[in-house]
Amino acid sequence: MKNILITGVSTGIGLATAQYFISKNDYRVIGTIRNPDDGDKVYAQLGPNFIPILLDVTKMDSIKEGYNKIKLLCPEGLSLLVNNAGIAVSGPLKELELSDFEKQMDVNVNGVLRVTNTFLPLLGATLDAKIPPGTIINISSVSGIFNTPLLGPYCISKHALESMSDIYRRELSIYGIKVIVIEPGPTKSEIWSKAKKDSDKFLHTDYGRIWKGMVRRVEKSESSAIDVNILAEKIYKVYRKKSPSNRYIVTKNKFINWFTFYLVPDRIIDIGLKKALMKGIKR
């Protein structure tokens, strides 16, 4: 039975991915949670092949404690690390509290670095390793490719994760470790519902009307968002590939998004976005 570590399994993509791997009967999933009650809840849902570990990706002591527990549980090492834990901070950069921006980066970027470096020994990252080389899958976003106004903090964190993944992939190739990026579009996950809790904080700025319209669009897009089970299946299939690609976009309109992200010049996109922003101001 292979050992899988997934960060952030309380809800959303992490929970669905844990469930999918366990359904295959060949995997034991260790999932990180921040609330002990969530661990009991997820364990009751997933069964004995799931092991909850209390771990906060922003705290090195918590990560080391989790590592020591997992090292005892998995002396044979980890086959896969899925860096899924993340948050979404949104708002115009001009009006953003620095502490909110730092929190976004600490979770989505520094958190991945802390967890990955800590668990690399269990993925076979030494030249004399007796552990077979594992795989790392980082959950990024199409926001790591395309920069959307008012989603700046989240976009910046995902762009950084894209770069970090490329560096890890190249540096860890000497050990035979694969590093793959999954880039979902809008997903049926709690990450944005949590982010909308502070949706009133920018209403009295120059971006107030635009912000209000964006919140409505996010709410509307949730009905047509990707189901987390589709992403879980994709993660499993990518992990199973002998020669996976470096990154995978997972959206409902893959070709349109690919065309926009890679072929349309920035200047054309800037003109279109400025028109949309000005239209929002005048409403």
Q: Which residues are catalytic?
A: 154
Identity at 28, one-letter amino acid code:
R
With a CB cutoff of 8 Å and minimum separation 6, the contacts of 41 are 10
Q: Which secondary-structure segment (H or E) carries 184?
A: strand 178-184
**Closest alpha carbon to 4 in 31, 23, 25, 34:** 31
Rg (CA), the chain: 19
**Burial (Cβ within 10 Å: 0-12, 13-18, ≥19) of residue 245:** exposed
Strands 2-6 and 27-33: parallel
Burial 167-188 (b: 16+ CB within 10 A, else e): ebbeebeebebbbbbbbbbbbb
